[in-house]
A and B are shown apart, each in its own frame.
Chain A
Amino acid sequence: MLAAVNSSGKAEAEEWQPKILAFCCNWCSYAGADAAGLERRQTPPTIRVIRVMCSGRIDPAFALMGFLEGADAVLITGCHIGDCHYVDANYKTRNRFEFLKEFVDELGLEPERLRLQWISASEGAIFADMVREVTENVKKVGPSPFRKSWKK
């Protein structure tokens, strides 16, 4: 995960491009991301995906570490409620996300930098839309205040 955030300094377009960290579950949202590619949907090159077996594995601390490493936004994605490959683990994701949301807000990071999205394996369009939307929103709020100036 850390490497994914660190080694991404290449997108040197004229316009500033945010770096967005996305956690995708193996069974739905990762396949959804795949689908977006297969369907040739245009998505900005802002996203770095970390595949986990289940969104229930995503400790809120992972998201926090993502921010501290310099991610401009963190996306948590998984199977729709009721579709979890592990029966009900995404209920836990949803519960923890509420903590994470409140935490990030209290801390003073813009709400635009954090999002929970349920994406099924066939929802390539939703994945692409999400990336576009978040990229647009994060561009408005600018680079993460947690990014150290010397880190590219």
Chain B
Amino acid sequence: MIKTICPGCSLGCGLYLEDGGERGLRVWHRKRAPVNAGKLCAFGMCLPQYYGRARMENTVDGKPVTQDEAVSEAAKRLKSIKPEELAFVSVGAATCEELSSLINLCKALGCKNLELGLNAAFKTLPESLHEFLEIGVPLASVERASKLVLFFMEPFSQHPLLARRILKAKKNGAKVFEVAFVGGERGIADETILLDAAALVNSASAEAAEELKKLRERKDVFENALIISEVNPYTDAVLLRELFAVCAECGAMPLLMKPFLTMSAALLQSALAPETKRGSSLLEVFEDERVKGLFLLETDPAGVLLLSERKIQERLSGLELLVEQGAFRTVASELATVTLASDMFFERRGLVVNAEGRVLRNEGTSTTGVEILEGIAGDITGARRSFEDVRNEALKALGLEAVPNEDAVPLRRKEEKVQVEPNELRSGATVAETTRVEDYLLLYRTTPAFWSGQFVKDFVEISVEAARSLKLFRGDKVEISNAEAVTLDFKISEHLPERLIVSEMKLAGVSERLLSPVRLRKKE
């Protein structure tokens, strides 16, 4: 039985995985785990299937090779690309040691284009706010908060193990508010501040700025509140900036959840490679014409990106060099010049940092991931570090001397409260025209399943009014279309505003943003 951490999101839930041989992996609840008391969400319960996907192999130009061959070939080819034309990306579940090694490799090649998944807004935010994106607050303080605001966050689907903390806070007398496009679903909020999704489709519009003023009128809600939200690679920069502005104005504190474990450890980047470009989204790296060589570490582009596989493949096949290191085959593996097979996350030895700043130990034994990265770096620099050296460097970068106890939350923000000039963050409307929404709006609800593309709820939620006007009956299907069309099952949700559709499944080809206009029809 291996004590491991769930790679589903940045909470870092603890569990045991047992290898049952022919009968596959088994999940056992680890009640001692301080983050989740052993409790797991549907994604955690499905980890055996998650780990049952097709495995990556060591290949060069599509031909199977040994690990050593793949490593030296990767080194050779990475060297052949100019550093400024290279990019390194890791958005998923890499350990701190692996990230430390990746940063080391990046430096060895003289490359400054390293992306660990922080939102694109990162770059444009004042430096004093960076740490708020990196570290949250201890989850225990959620239970003790007297006022909570769920800012575009539906914890029961997005981070279920956070929901119980909110329920406990409520039991302790906390007031719970939600700011959302759709509210009241589980009835845990005392009040919902409903924003009009149509006004915010184009968040840079004057209409959006006007709509967001609604928040400023509710100082009573935000004053000294703990605001829980999610920042993922697609989070709307305007909303994120508004969140910080509100925090600054009202003395509120943000707790930003993330969809990937790596994103919490991105603070390693600040410490180890502050000169690297930070907070580009993978999408930006993708669209950057200058990038000719790409190194993907434990990253499934089809998972992180909202693009269709076809689009991803098109872009990837235009690269001169694609090196991919991971445990599972992805949409990129077929196109990769070199693939490097690592062991699965639960098999690895390594540390992860969760959203609150807790350092957790993944107690597998494999160090293959670090060995590969150090092997490549070693081929380039001539110096190869041991796993212990890598771990120590990672710990030092986090400001720690030894691996801390899992019960402690050692990483804290320097500043408790957000201190910026709020209006600096509110740039106002930057485009004049508003996006006309004539039909429906599709809102993605990002769950662990959403990003992994597995065990998703394969239907969309539509409003009662939509079902009525389309004359939908049980067993019917709906067609949602934009550039492309998909046919899906639906669920009627009485909480949804008339023109909103919620999907916990990526509809690549239909929408490439978290919120976008679509057409909804009954599939005849």
**Is A–B contact present in the complex under a CB 8 A cutoff?**
yes
Question: Residue on B with the closest CB to A149?
Answer: B494
In the assembled complex, which residues on chain A have CB atoms less than 8 Å from the CB atom of B464? 150
Question: Residue on A with the closest CB to B473?
Answer: A6
In the assembled complex, which residues on chain A have CB atoms less than 8 Å from the CB atom of B494? 148-150
Instruction: Name the interface residues of B440-480: CB closer than 8 Å to any CB of A.
Output: 464, 473-474
Question: Residue on B with the closest CB to A148?
Answer: B494
How distant is the Cα of A6 from the Cα of B473 in the complex, in angstroms? 9
| Distance in Å: Cβ of B253 to nearest Cβ of chain A | 38
Give a binary string over A121-152; 1 marks a CB under 8 Å from any B CB, 0 the rest: 00000000000000000000000000011100
Interface: A61 (CB within 8 A): no
In the assembled complex, which residues on chain B have CB atoms less than 8 Å from the CB atom of A149? 494
Question: Residue on A with the closest CB to B468?
Answer: A150
| Distance in Å: Cβ of B407 to nearest Cβ of chain A | 40
In the assembled complex, which residues on chain B have CB atoms less than 8 Å from the CB atom of A3? 474
| Distance in Å: Cβ of B460 to nearest Cβ of chain A | 18
Give a binary string over B470-494; 1 marks a CB under 8 Å from any A CB, 0 the rest: 0001100000000000000000001
Tally chain B residues at the interface, Cβ within 8 Å.
4
Interface: A11 (CB within 8 A): no
| Distance in Å: Cβ of B328 to nearest Cβ of chain A | 38
In the assembled complex, which residues on chain B have CB atoms less than 8 Å from the CB atom of A150? 464, 494
How distant is the Cα of A2 from the Cα of B474 in the complex, in angstroms? 9
In the assembled complex, which residues on chain A have CB atoms less than 8 Å from the CB atom of B473? 6
In the assembled complex, which residues on chain B have CB atoms less than 8 Å from the CB atom of A148? 494
How distant is the Cα of A149 from the Cα of B492 in the complex, in angstroms? 13
| Distance in Å: Cβ of B182 to nearest Cβ of chain A | 15
| Distance in Å: Cβ of A151 to nearest Cβ of chain B | 9
How distant is the Cα of A113 from the Cα of B410 in the complex, in angstroms? 58
How distant is the Cα of A5 from the Cα of B464 in the complex, in angstroms? 18
Most chain B CB within a 10 A radius of its CB, from A3, A6, A149, A150: A150
Give a binary string over A27-50; 1 marks a CB under 8 Å from any B CB, 0 the rest: 000000000000000000000000
How distant is the Cα of A148 from the Cα of B494 in the complex, in angstroms? 9
Instruction: Name the interface residues of A52-97: CB closer than 8 Å to any CB of B.
Output: none
How distant is the Cα of A3 from the Cα of B473 in the complex, in angstroms? 9
In the assembled complex, which residues on chain A have CB atoms less than 8 Å from the CB atom of B474? 2-3, 6
Give a binary string over B481-524; 1 marks a CB under 8 Å from any A CB, 0 the rest: 00000000000001000000000000000000000000000000
Question: Residue on B with the closest CB to A69?
Answer: B474
Question: Residue on B with the closest CB to A2?
Answer: B474
How distant is the Cα of A61 from the Cα of B474 in the complex, in angstroms? 19
Instruction: Name the interface residues of A2-28: CB closer than 8 Å to any CB of B.
Output: 2-3, 6
| Distance in Å: Cβ of B184 to nearest Cβ of chain A | 14
Instruction: Name the interface residues of A89-111: CB closer than 8 Å to any CB of B.
Output: none
| Distance in Å: Cβ of A136 to nearest Cβ of chain B | 31
In the assembled complex, which residues on chain B have CB atoms less than 8 Å from the CB atom of A2? 474
Question: Residue on A with the closest CB to B494?
Answer: A150
How distant is the Cα of A2 from the Cα of B464 in the complex, in angstroms? 18
Question: Residue on B with the closest CB to A150?
Answer: B464
Question: Residue on A with the closest CB to B465?
Answer: A150
How distant is the Cα of A73 from the Cα of B473 in the complex, in angstroms? 23
How distant is the Cα of A137 from the Cα of B253 in the complex, in angstroms? 56
Question: Residue on A with the closest CB to B464?
Answer: A150
How distant is the Cα of A148 from the Cα of B474 in the complex, in angstroms? 15
| Distance in Å: Cβ of A149 to nearest Cβ of chain B | 8
Question: Residue on B with the closest CB to A7?
Answer: B473
How distant is the Cα of A2 from the Cα of B473 in the complex, in angstroms? 11
| Distance in Å: Cβ of A20 to nearest Cβ of chain B | 20
How distant is the Cα of A148 from the Cα of B473 in the complex, in angstroms? 16
How distant is the Cα of A75 from the Cα of B359 in the complex, in angstroms? 58
| Distance in Å: Cβ of A3 to nearest Cβ of chain B | 7
Instruction: Name the interface residues of B372-430: CB closer than 8 Å to any CB of A.
Output: none
How distant is the Cα of A18 from the Cα of B253 in the complex, in angstroms? 52
How distant is the Cα of A2 from the Cα of B475 in the complex, in angstroms? 11
How distant is the Cα of A149 from the Cα of B473 in the complex, in angstroms? 17
Question: Residue on B with the closest CB to A3?
Answer: B474
| Distance in Å: Cβ of B472 to nearest Cβ of chain A | 12
Residues of B within 8 A of A (CB): 464, 473-474, 494
6 additional A-B residue pairs with CB within 8 Å, beyond A3-B474, A149-B494: A2-B474, A6-B473, A6-B474, A148-B494, A150-B464, A150-B494
A-B pairs with the 8 shortest C-beta distances?
Answer: A150-B464, A150-B494, A2-B474, A148-B494, A6-B474, A3-B474, A6-B473, A149-B494
Chain A to chain B contacts (Cβ below 8 Å), 8 pairs: A2-B474, A3-B474, A6-B473, A6-B474, A148-B494, A149-B494, A150-B464, A150-B494
